[in-house]
Structure 1
Amino acid sequence: MNACRLIVISVAGALLMATGAAAQVSLTPPGIEPPAASKAAPNPKARPPAVVKKPPAAELKPAPPAPAPEDPNADLVYGAYQRGMYKTAFDLASAKAQAGDIKAMTMLGELYSNALGVKRDYASAIDWYKRASEGGDREAMFALAMMRLSGRGGPVDREAAVKLLASSAKLGEPKAAYNLALLYLDGQTLPQDLKRSAELLTIAANAGNPEAQYALATFYKEGTGVQKDLAKAAQLLQAAAVADNLDAEVEYAIALYNGTGTPKNEEGAIELLRRAARQNSPIAQNRLAHVLITGRGTPIDLIEGFKWHLIAKTAGNGDAQLDERFAQLSDQDRAKVEDLVRLWFGTFAKK
């Protein structure tokens, strides 16, 4: 695939978690060529890079309001978990799990797996996840699939992982549908099937998963597994951007700037690029540099523009044309730019 740098964890890695990069999108003001990265030839069979992320603590379900102790239906276990009272959550879940509570079993798997309130114990985590999975809990199926796929707590078992993901996805778990889609896209654990991957991404995207929305947008943008539809791609990018997916935010800004699949809105696009640049997206920083230096859609600001150029260059997103223009600045202006760059890295390092 071209711009679709989905996160497909290698089967020797940990979880299949969601992220990506808009490294091959284009924002081309008149007279300025896009960076070389935006011209890469499409390669649908290319395996996306592997990125391992620590599993988030709130993996099980959205946070409910803090439960009232006098409410007999209150989820005291999850309430304690959400407040960081992991030892309390463990004690409460242990009692409920022994009484056959499926959700409590899943919670114990989570706590044992991530060493929350108890010493990490993958064997116990797997045992509780298995019990909850056998009881029909889709979140336990997903978590156990990830452990089987990554080899945590035992040997890698791709076949078992795929079955668990399929069962979880069938029960409506969007994370399972998303990760199963990545396996069909990757074409290593499962035969590559772009159409099936698109179907699963659609399920996860419709459930509000921003990573799936971003990935599916790329499918529609390129006509991968679906009919090419730039308007649909823009809608999905917007939805993912609203959910704070940084890569979708960058690509949606570029779509707005160029009027690709959505009405042209240079002012709105530049605001999105500024926001993404401040979140340290090298692509956004490079595109923002072009806009500020050329003054299309915003007043020219050479100092600020070259600041973002140097910051993006430090992250590996260089631009020979902007290098040439930077060299033409006066010594005084170059010094101003370099002072702003130092201030940026000093501030960012403290975050």
Structure 2
Amino acid sequence: MSYLKTQKNIMSQNIVPVFPVYFMRGLLKRIFNTIFLCLFLPVFSFAAGNFQKGYEAHLRGDFSAAIKAWGPLAAQGDAAAQFNIGNLFDFGKGVREDNVQAAYWYNKSAEQDNANAQYALGWMYENGEGVKKDLVKALLWYKKAAEQKHSGAQTNLGWMYENGKGVEMDDTQAVFWYKKAANLGRAEGQLNLGIMYKKGLGVDLDQSKAVFWFEKAASQGYANAQLNLGVVYRNGEGVETDYIKAAYWLKKAVKTGHSAAQTNLGWLYENGKGVAQDYQHAFSLYQKAAEKGQAEGQLNLGVMYANGKGIKVNYKKAVYWYRRAADQEQAEAQLNLGIMYKYGRGVEENYTQAVYWFKKPAEKGYAEAQTNLGLMYEYGKGVKQDYTEAILWYEKAAEQDDVTSQLSLALFYKFGKGVRKDYTQVFYWYKKAAELGDTGAQLNLGFMFQYGKGVEQDYEEAVTWYKKSAERGHPEAQASLAWMYENGKGIEADLKEAIYWYKKSAEQGNTKAQLKLGIIYKNGNGTVEDYTQSFYWYKKVAQQGDAHAQLNVGIMYEYGKGTTQDYTNAVHWYKSAAVQGLSEAQTRLGWMHENGKGVEQDYSQAISLYKNAAKNGETNAQLKLGIIYQNGKVAAEDYSQSFFWYKKVAEKGDANAQLNLGQMYEYGKGTDENYTQAVYWYKKAAEQGDTEAQLNLAVMYKYGTG
């Protein structure tokens, strides 16, 4: 049973599309032309009349008239008019856009405690528009507005606390203000509060509460919340997985043109989750998102082109979209671009470029990229071969539970590549991969327990790991488990179970298991003797080139066991095994030539085959040559040759050869007459029950010869 079976493979170039998970912040940044007529009516009727005129002018789009009506009021200190004039300058309505003037009028209004102006002025300071950027002042004005129950300011103030902008980072304060905004019905605040619950920031992690607030915001038509709600239903986070609901909410967000929602909905269509599988529609959604610059949409569009889903395979376009996403630092796109360069798909093969693109995501901690980079260093592709560097990257990926890297490290320690051979480390990494469910690692772990490599020998543990791998369909593990059942190692011997697992393995083409079944059915071990089944399994293996199976198929054809007797087919299979150097097959093929069975009689060919087998120590061939040279029927009589071959066989304990050798010594045929040696060999044969040798020995004793 061979020891090492797991092989490393470079990552597949057919990368599965990612399902991007987005939790988009609902940070409202600007006030959009909000005119507050009722809240800020001046005391005097004249002023009220002018404010009303400005409002009506604004409604009909006559911004110049609005400025004419509100300007004097603003100059007189009317806070609402000051805010509205600032707003018109901010958005260039009726005047040239002028952030400095906007900030000036917002400031005038804000100092009179106008919450909307305070909010707008906070935004100007946060972003450095019309004023020098000053996060502390931004925080100050947001806080003033927030304390007046301005939900937008409360949302932005929460964001400032969460991200440490203008103040020390404080998730608890962030939650406090998000909650204020959320309770006032602010969709952005509700979304952000949901995210804090989802991540356990400033509050105990609570997926159910996250979903509650996502639903609140999504029900208001807020696309970011609809996206997030779709994602949690897709992933079953805080709710039962429900692809139909995921599709429902993502479709709502897609109607607003939300690019991330388009990507996520595309994934549902690609995989037929919650919707009928439709590659064309998935492709269309990815394309829309990609054209808007959405990195995951670009990645997934590239995958569609690479795999020919919803569109004809086009590696050049796949590379184009991978590159667009990779330039946005999308890690999987960078990995895929590296793979395209490695295999020359859509670009000229270029290992240096492959390494360049693998390194980018690898340095960010992306495990698959680290594995691929390790492989490039291991085999010296695009870089100088460097086992130490390969190990470094494999270890980084392996520590993130990347199975390929774990298997690679096991092999490095087994063969001493860049490290001292260390079966303890081999065992360690196979165990890591095995515990993650890799069937090859489970098989190898079974081997290590069975043979005590890197761990104390433990047949029961070997059985445990063989079984894990076997139950998941690994053919060699099935054969190994069968052997343990057959031989009662680590488990009670059970030939029926052994046959069951040999069959499982054999049906997957495992030649060892097929050969075992041929033997089991031929000998009736643990089952009824069944030559038909034996022939069936031997032939399976024989057709795959196994010499021993070919020999057995030949024997079954020769004697009509499990199949119709057929000398021609017997010759065919003996010949197949003989050319591979199998001595017994050469002997049997020699006999077929000697006796003209399934082939024309040919003594010289028979002798040639016997000699080839005899030189390799095949007893029957040696005995055959002894007989042939003794009787002179097939070849010229040659007692010396006969003696030579009889002696070879006699020394192995063959009674017939011992008898013949005794006779040659007695009569001086092919050697000097020697009664002592004759007695010696007669005695050897006689002790094995050969009656002729016993008679000859009796005569020798009677006459005192030898």
User: When the two structures are superposed, what TM-score results if normalisation uses the length of structure 2?
Assistant: 0.37
SS at match of 1:319: helix
Counterpart selection for 2:465 from 197, 200, 211:
200
Per-residue CA deviations over 1:157-202 (Å, capped at 9, x if unaligned) read: 2222222222222222222221122122222533221111111111
1:103 positional shift: 1.4
SS at match of 1:299: coil
Counterpart selection for 2:600 from 333, 336, 340:
333
The residue number in structure 1 matching 2:625 is none
The residue number in structure 2 matching 1:128 is 393
In 2, the alpha carbon distance for the partners of 1:76 and 1:196 equals 39
8 A Cα contact 1:231 1:260, kept in partner? no
In 2, the alpha carbon distance for the partners of 1:205 and 1:97 equals 34
8 A Cα contact 1:86 1:111, kept in partner? no
Letter in 2 for 1:190: V
Per-residue CA deviations over 1:104-154 (Å, capped at 9, x if unaligned) read: 111222333244565532122111101111222233122102211210112
The residue number in structure 1 matching 2:5 is 17
Counterpart selection for 1:231 from 471, 493, 496:
496
Counterpart selection for 2:303 from 50, 67, 82:
67
In 1, the alpha carbon distance for the partners of 2:531 and 2:506 equals 17
Deviates more, 1:61-70 or 1:322-331: 61-70
**More RCO (CA 8 Å, sep 6+):** 1
1:280 positional shift: 1.4
8 A Cα contact 2:425 2:454, kept in partner? no
8 A Cα contact 1:149 1:158, kept in partner? yes
Counterpart selection for 1:106 from 352, 371, 385:
371
In 2, the alpha carbon distance for the partners of 1:83 and 1:205 equals 37
In 2, the alpha carbon distance for the partners of 1:247 and 1:271 equals 14
1:284 positional shift: 0.9
Counterpart selection for 2:547 from 282, 286, 297:
282
Compared with structure 1, are the counterparts of its residues 83 and 193 closer, same or farther at alpha carbon in structure 2 (3 Å cutoff)?
A: farther
Compared with structure 1, are the counterparts of its residues 154 and 224 closer, same or farther at alpha carbon in structure 2 (3 Å cutoff)?
A: same
SS at match of 1:104: helix
In 2, the alpha carbon distance for the partners of 1:62 and 1:246 equals 30
In 2, the alpha carbon distance for the partners of 1:77 and 1:240 equals 38
Counterpart selection for 2:511 from 232, 246, 253:
246
SS at match of 1:213: helix
Per-residue CA deviations over 1:3-41 (Å, capped at 9, x if unaligned) read: xxx112xxxxxxx226xxxxxxxxxxxxxxxxxxxxxxx
Deviates more, 1:244-253 or 1:320-329: 320-329
The residue number in structure 1 matching 2:584 is 319
In 1, the alpha carbon distance for the partners of 2:485 and 2:454 equals 24
Compared with structure 1, are the counterparts of its residues 82 and 223 closer, same or farther at alpha carbon in structure 2 (3 Å cutoff)?
A: farther
The residue number in structure 1 matching 2:569 is 304
SS at match of 1:67: helix
The residue number in structure 2 matching 1:76 is 336
Compared with structure 1, are the counterparts of its residues 90 and 210 closer, same or farther at alpha carbon in structure 2 (3 Å cutoff)?
A: farther
**Equivalences, count:** 290
Q: Check if 1:172 corresponds to 2:437.
A: yes
Q: % of aligned pairs identical?
A: 24
Compared with structure 1, are the counterparts of its residues 141 and 77 closer, same or farther at alpha carbon in structure 2 (3 Å cutoff)?
A: farther
SS at match of 1:333: coil
Compared with structure 1, are the counterparts of its residues 291 and 109 closer, same or farther at alpha carbon in structure 2 (3 Å cutoff)?
A: same
Compared with structure 1, are the counterparts of its residues 250 and 101 closer, same or farther at alpha carbon in structure 2 (3 Å cutoff)?
A: same
> Which of structures 1 and 2 has the bigger CA Rg?
2
In 1, the alpha carbon distance for the partners of 2:350 and 2:403 equals 22
The residue number in structure 2 matching 1:11 is none
In 2, the alpha carbon distance for the partners of 1:82 and 1:190 equals 39
In 2, the alpha carbon distance for the partners of 1:151 and 1:170 equals 24
8 A Cα contact 2:534 2:562, kept in partner? no
The residue number in structure 1 matching 2:206 is none
Counterpart selection for 1:183 from 448, 452, 469:
448
1:295 positional shift: 0.8
SS at match of 2:493: coil
The residue number in structure 2 matching 1:7 is 2
Q: Check if 1:211 corresponds to 2:447.
A: no
SS at match of 1:280: coil
Structure 2's unaligned 5+ residue stretches are: 17-301, 305-317, 326-331, 606-706
1:258 positional shift: 5.6
8 A Cα contact 1:139 1:173, kept in partner? no
8 A Cα contact 2:409 2:429, kept in partner? yes
In 2, the alpha carbon distance for the partners of 1:133 and 1:166 equals 12
8 A Cα contact 2:460 2:490, kept in partner? yes
Compared with structure 1, are the counterparts of its residues 244 and 118 closer, same or farther at alpha carbon in structure 2 (3 Å cutoff)?
A: farther
In 2, the alpha carbon distance for the partners of 1:257 and 1:101 equals 54
Per-residue CA deviations over 1:71-104 (Å, capped at 9, x if unaligned) read: 9878736964688868365444222212221111
Deviates more, 1:297-306 or 1:323-332: 323-332
1:206 positional shift: 1.8
In 1, the alpha carbon distance for the partners of 2:343 and 2:425 equals 30
Deviates more, 1:229-238 or 1:249-258: 249-258
Letter in 1 for 2:415: S
8 A Cα contact 1:67 1:79, kept in partner? no
SS at match of 2:479: helix
User: When the two structures are superposed, what TM-score results if normalisation uses the length of structure 1?
Assistant: 0.69
8 A Cα contact 1:63 1:82, kept in partner? no
1:315 positional shift: 3.6
Compared with structure 1, are the counterparts of its residues 254 and 78 closer, same or farther at alpha carbon in structure 2 (3 Å cutoff)?
A: farther
Letter in 1 for 2:376: L
SS at match of 2:583: coil
Letter in 1 for 2:596: S
8 A Cα contact 1:303 1:333, kept in partner? no
Letter in 2 for 1:333: E
The residue number in structure 2 matching 1:95 is 360
Letter in 1 for 2:437: G
Per-residue CA deviations over 1:275-308 (Å, capped at 9, x if unaligned) read: 3213210121111011100112212121321332
1:219 positional shift: 1.2
8 A Cα contact 1:148 1:161, kept in partner? yes
Compared with structure 1, are the counterparts of its residues 125 and 317 closer, same or farther at alpha carbon in structure 2 (3 Å cutoff)?
A: same
Compared with structure 1, are the counterparts of its residues 298 and 176 closer, same or farther at alpha carbon in structure 2 (3 Å cutoff)?
A: same
Structure 1's unaligned 5+ residue stretches are: 1-5, 9-15, 19-54, 339-351
SS at match of 2:303: coil
For residues 123-162 of structure 1, what are the structure 2 equivalents within 5 Å?
Answer: 123-162=388-427
Deviates more, 1:279-288 or 1:254-263: 254-263
